[in-house]
Homo-oligomer: A and B are copies of this chain.
Amino acid sequence: MTIREIRARELDPQAFIRDKVSEIKSVVGDGMVINALSGGVDSSAVTMLGHKALGDRLKSYFIQNGLMRDNEPEQIVSLFERMGVKVELVDARESFFRALKGITDPEEKREAITQTFYKEVFGRLVKESGAKFLFQGTILTDVDETVAGIKRQHNVFEQLGIDPQEAFGYKILEPLVQLRKDGVRRVAEALGLPASVFKRMPFPGPALSARVIGEVTRERIQIVRKATAITEEELAGIPAFQYMAILHQDRVTGMRDGGREYGLQIEIRCWDSVDARVATPTHLPYPTLERLAKRMTSEVPGVVSVTYNITPKPPSTMEAI
């Protein structure tokens, strides 16, 4: 299937919304649609589009997988409630951490999350709901990178020739698949979403598990969650495309209270980019880097070392794994 790209500069957001709302209505008919909201700009735009087209026949879930940032699930659910969209919060932390236990390979992690999400958690919800359709916030960059084999995105089955109906029991609709991130932001704004959503930094599908090199455990997620909160606080005013903290598996020597501590290292990445296809590290001022290092090593238990990534994409990718 060839996808016709709609570039941000040729996009008329209101016309796009009208077209997609009418397309959704005609495909879904009087059926039910289910979707999972992560709070990112893609899934938020899809949720609003679906709500506009279907009202209460869209059933939205926020899956608490235990891999989210501080307070993220509660904040997102309450934001959508204020906009008149009911989102159900589903606690699936046990399922995800059980599936991730012992896995260190990045592809196996993504696979474990995908399988847990679709088969165990979401599959059950779909069956209970009777929905035959599922919305997903796939954008064109996801498709490109998955087809190129750079990264396994968990929402591009059809492009890979995998039939989601056969694999998971339902049909996936991807209303944003012709857009890239800059286009999606304009659509999200036109849908009435607040700037905290339409200007929101990209955040990966596997959430903080994509920010942990090596095994993902509750404890290691808690460490990278704290490091993420510090990074987001300190860089909040920086006009970057995306920033992140990554917990390494490698241990490095440090010293604390005059003694040796074989401790943890956090890597910070901060990207300048227009559409995520290419990116360069932001020239963060050294006082900012030093404050980040100071806070990481004093506030995050076990951290003795902090680095800043200086590699462009390509050959780097934006996320570490």
Contact = CB atoms under 8 A, between A and B. Distances in A.
Contacts of A321: 252-253
A208 B51 CA distance: 60
* Most B Cβ at <10 Å: residue of A263, A309, A312: A309
B293 A256 contact: no
B260 A150 contact: yes
B255 A213 contact: no
Interface stretch (A120-128, A174-182, A283-291): A283-291
Contacts of A263: 315
A78 interface: no
Q: How many subunits of this chain does the assembly comprise? A: 2
Contact of A297 (B267, B286, B304, B315): B315
* Most B Cβ at <10 Å: residue of A149, A214, A311: A311
A30 to B, nearest CB: 42
B317 A250 contact: no
Given A148-B260, A280-B290, 4 more contacts: A150-B258, A253-B319, A254-B315, A304-B315
18 contacts: A148-B255, A149-B260, A150-B253, A150-B260, A213-B250, A213-B251, A252-B316, A252-B317, A252-B321, A254-B316, A254-B317, A255-B314, A286-B310, A290-B310, A293-B311, A296-B311, A305-B315, A308-B308
